Structure 1
Amino acid sequence: MTTPIRRVSRRMPGWVKAVCAVVLVLAVFFIGVTLSVIPGLKDLFGTETTDRSGPTLLQSIQDMSRYDAASGNFQVVVDLEKDTKYLPDAIRGSRVLYVGAGTVEAYVDLGKVGKDDVTVNKDRTSATLNLPHAALGKPALNPDRSYAVSKQRGLLDRLGDFFSDNPNSEQAVQKLAVKHIGDAAKDSGLTKRAETNTTDMLEGLLHSLGFKVVHVTFAS
């Protein structure tokens, strides 16, 4: 007599599925820690970036009437640390040491000079100009000379950087560097140098046009 062959059930027990799920989670966690700890290993699984941007369109043109009379180069070392309450820095926290280099322009807005601010005598040998005080432009961070010296991040921060593409990871230190550069420019005497250079430029220009006496003043 032929014995019927019993089919073996292929259904996986629930506890086996639970164990497989835990193992999968631990494997992903281990890969994330490994890629974030070992430098260069993350690049093996990196994604390829392709720039498919369209052409840049010119939307407007503005005439500039200001005279850029002086420029200052600044450098600042930013030490920014972020801590999380009740968690050690090894788990959650970050500290970035960043060298920020940038420039600040000082200018005189000649577009604000009106007819009453320019006085010329009848013989056109003497001229008096009353100009607005020099002002500072916005600090411009130089990306080619700015760089992060060191980055210390907790385990959760490293995993967050691995699982999410965050192009603004250094945005906080960059903003802080711009702020410090702007504050330094206010105390650097850059506007006074701009007024001196503007005076020299206008005196040389008017002397070449035949004026023998040139007075340049700056209003409040």
Structure 2
Amino acid sequence: MTSTDVKPEPEQSQGGTRGSRVSRAPWWIKLPVGLVVIVLLLGIGSRLDLVPGFDDVFGEKTKDRTGPTLLKSIQDLSRYQAASGNFQVVVDLEKDAKFLPDTIKGSRTLYVGAGSVGSYVDLGGIGDENVQVNKERTTATLRLPHAQLGKATLDADRSYAVSKQRGLLDRLGDFFSDNPADERAVNKLAAKHIQDAAKDSGLTERAEKNTTSMLQGLLTSLGFKEVTVVYGEAG
């Protein structure tokens, strides 16, 4: 008789087939993808600066998509800008709500406002009646209006917020909106304080003095020997 070789079946066990080779995946394969990324970043984050150009992989890029600047109008100026003053003020703006503590509703902002105010003499209304010249054209008397102050202009590069304190409701509101009204309020208040300070700074007196020097130098170069400038109501 021909005997047939019968291969014995492998014995089964609760853990699987005995004698079979079970391939097990490395432990790190079972880790969540997010955790693996974190581990990798922690491991190589301190070495990113050693690889040229690799630090730009996660860097931000700034793109200027501003449209063309449109010329809205042109205004002829008849003012002589004779003086300018630079000012700085620390604005402490606090807003409170009735019947609510500051931790719930309220804000306080410390803001350093830097800006300038110019002083000018308006020469647009000067006519023949404001200029007196002798027959020999050696002396001249000019009557000009008093110098005025221009509007305070804040310098964005030198103005900044020192601190901002917000109540809970205000912080929630900032989460949904950048709240530009608060920025306008503090900027407006800084400009007002600078404007008020300019009134007591002697800028207008300096402007009239500089205007007088300018006119005297100009008319002297034209042959006048004596030039007098009087400030008051022109016309």
TM-score if structure 1 supplies the norm length? 0.75
The structure that has the greater radius of gyration is 2
Tell me the alpha carbon deviations over residues 46-102 of structure 1, each in whole angstroms, 9 at most, x when there is no partner: xx9976543222232121110000001011111011111111111111000011011
Among residues 66, 86, 103, which one is paired with 1:73 in the alignment?
Answer: 86
Specify the code of the residue in structure 2 equivalent to 1:195: E
My pick for the range that moved more, 158-167 or 52-61, is 52-61
In the alignment, which residue of structure 1 is the partner of 2:231?
218
Aligned residues: 173
Q: Which runs of 5+ in 2 are unaligned?
A: 1-60
For residues 154 and 50 of structure 1, the distance between their equivalents in structure 2, rounded to whole angstroms, comes to: 35
Does the residue aligned with 2:212 lie in a helix, a strand or coil? helix
Specify the code of the residue in structure 2 equivalent to 1:125: T
Does the residue aligned with 1:111 lie in a helix, a strand or coil? coil
In the alignment, which residue of structure 2 is the partner of 1:191?
204
For residues 75 and 107 of structure 2, the distance between their equivalents in structure 1, rounded to whole angstroms, comes to: 43
Asked if 1:90 is matched to 2:116, the reply is no
Superposed, 1:153-192 pairs within 5 Å as: 153-192=166-205
For residues 162 and 50 of structure 1, the distance between their equivalents in structure 2, rounded to whole angstroms, comes to: 25
In the alignment, which residue of structure 2 is the partner of 1:62?
75
In the alignment, which residue of structure 2 is the partner of 1:150?
163
Specify the code of the residue in structure 2 equivalent to 1:104: V
TM-score if structure 2 supplies the norm length? 0.70
For residues 80 and 165 of structure 1, the distance between their equivalents in structure 2, rounded to whole angstroms, comes to: 18
Deviation of 1:166 (Å): 2.6
Deviation of 1:190 (Å): 0.5
For residues 231 and 129 of structure 2, the distance between their equivalents in structure 1, rounded to whole angstroms, comes to: 14
Among residues 127, 144, 161, which one is paired with 1:114 in the alignment?
Answer: 127
Q: Which runs of 5+ in 1 are unaligned?
A: 1-47
Tell me the alpha carbon deviations over residues 84-128 of structure 1, each in whole angstroms, 9 at most, x when there is no partner: 111111111100001101100000001111110011111111111
For residues 157 and 72 of structure 2, the distance between their equivalents in structure 1, rounded to whole angstroms, comes to: 28
